[in-house]
Amino acid sequence: MIDVKDLIEQPEKYRASQQARGADVSLVDRIVEADASRRASIARFEELRAEQKAFGKRVAQASGEQKQALLAEVKELAAQVKAAEAAANEAEEALLREQRAFPNLIIEGIPAGGEDDFVVVRQVGTPRDFAAEGFEPRDHLELGELIGGIDMERGAKVSGARFSFLKGVGARLELAIMQMGLDLALENGFVPVIPPTLVRPETMQGTGFDVQHDDEIYRLERDDLYLVGTSEVALAGYHADEILDVDVPVRYAGWSTCYRREAGSAGKDTRGIIRVHQFNKLEMFVYCSQEQAEAEHARLLEWEETMLQAIEVPYRVIDIAAGDLGLSAARKFDCEAWVPTQGTYRELTSTSNCTTFQSRRLNIRERVAKEDGSGSNAKKGGTRMVATLNGTLATTRWIVAILENHQNADGSITVPAALRPYLGGLERFELA
């Protein structure tokens, strides 16, 4: 959630953020009004409560008819107090509803606009000229079938459309990508985690997903649990209602299976494993101080690029426009790999700086140092919200880019050198 106090003090900043997102600017005024209503309702309740306490003392000191008269007034006052308390609670809930609907304040400098308004930060590598090499590139599914690595037909038979079996070298390749990513994470202080893939609604909502209206989310109604689309959800909830020490960023690398309905992609990428309902992902998740967040975001992007350079595919980094950000992100960078048969770049990794948005919803804080006046030792003062960030190190979709960019004329695949140690030294995926 956004910081209501900050919004009240600097409403124009939030109006500009909403405008850049193409979102409802009037929501700023609704929050200002809801906060004023909440404050007035609380003040009225507290005023009546104080009056009720004063009446209680008068009743205790009175006797006879005077006491009976006062008791009648007390009864009426008690009803007013109860009604005022209910009104204050409703005003609190009304503000919370508006606050939960408000997207994160964007970081100044990101591009405004929608999905097509991203800015290319850099482009790395040059796409292969297959025509110059004398052959037409095959797509990843045909290649995966030729090497015995992908079986979509039996995936559909067992589970329906957009499910697959990865087998043989396909399964080995995914595990190799994930393990290479985990090794990089371990080198940089990440704690590996295999999290739950079913979470409670409060965890899903706390991360910033709309469980009531998000068609991408699978729900198990009988248990009121949700299948995660990223281990970010479970890792964000891991420290809910806790106070952390983030003098050094707390970094987790979550390895999990993920599930998405892909409800909004009817007719898109139905061939192969680009958009599937189930996939594996290695996700970085970081808790840090607010001051560390932007530098940590740059590090997450750097580690993602390290992985992409290791698998030797052309890629570009894009700064996502405000209107294409999710509810939680204040800024997001995507790394997109070149897919030869599509003649375009497709997202392989994404990293988001969520600032304090998720921690405010999940109540994750750090202690603030307070000087004791001596100029030396600092005593612990109050608390404040931490920042959270996330980023992808590897997913099933990477197989698409590797197969297509490293294919040979006969349909075999040359294994990128960095992955060979994770495949027993295998240099080539031969035809099955």
Whether 71 is in a domain gets the answer yes
Phi, psi of 249 (to 5 degrees): -50, 140
Same structural domain, 32 and 157: no
Amino acid occupying residue 20: A
The pLDDT averaged over each successive group of 10 residues in the chain (432 residues) is: 94 96 96 95 90 69 62 75 92 93 95 96 97 97 98 96 96 98 98 97 92 85 95 97 97 97 72 94 98 98 98 98 96 98 96 97 91 54 94 97 98 98 98 94
In sequence order, the 6+-apart residues with CB closer than 8 A to the CB of 12 are none
Give the pLDDT score at 178: 98
- Residue at 40 is within a domain: yes
Report DSSP letters for 167-207, one per residue: -THHHHHHHHHHHHHHHHHHHTTPEEE---SEE-HHHHHHH
Is residue 109, in this structure, part of any structural domain at all?
no
- CATH number for position 21: 1.10.287
User: What pLDDT is attached to residue 344?
Assistant: 96
pLDDT for the residue numbered 214: 78
> 128 with 91, same domain?
no
**Domain-located, residue 284:** yes
Task: Please count the structural domains in the chain.
Answer: 2
**In this structure, are 154 and 249 located in the same domain?**
yes
- Start-to-end Cα distance in the chain: 52
| Alpha-carbon span 405 to 117, nearest angstrom | 27
Catalytic residues: 260, 275, 347, 350, 397
pTM of the entire predicted model:
0.91
User: Would you give the distance in Å from CA 236 to the centre of its chain?
Assistant: 8
Q: Residue 417 has which token pair?
A: 């050198």
- pLDDT, residue 49, reads 83
Q: What is the pLDDT of residue 50?
A: 86
Looking at the fold, whether 171 and 78 belong to one and the same domain comes out as no
Please indicate, yes or no, whether residues 180 and 42 belong to a single structural domain of this protein. Answer: no
Note whether 181 and 315 are same-domain residues. Answer: yes
Please report, for the domain that includes residue 177, its CATH number: 3.30.930.10
User: Given this model, what pLDDT does residue 377 score?
Assistant: 47
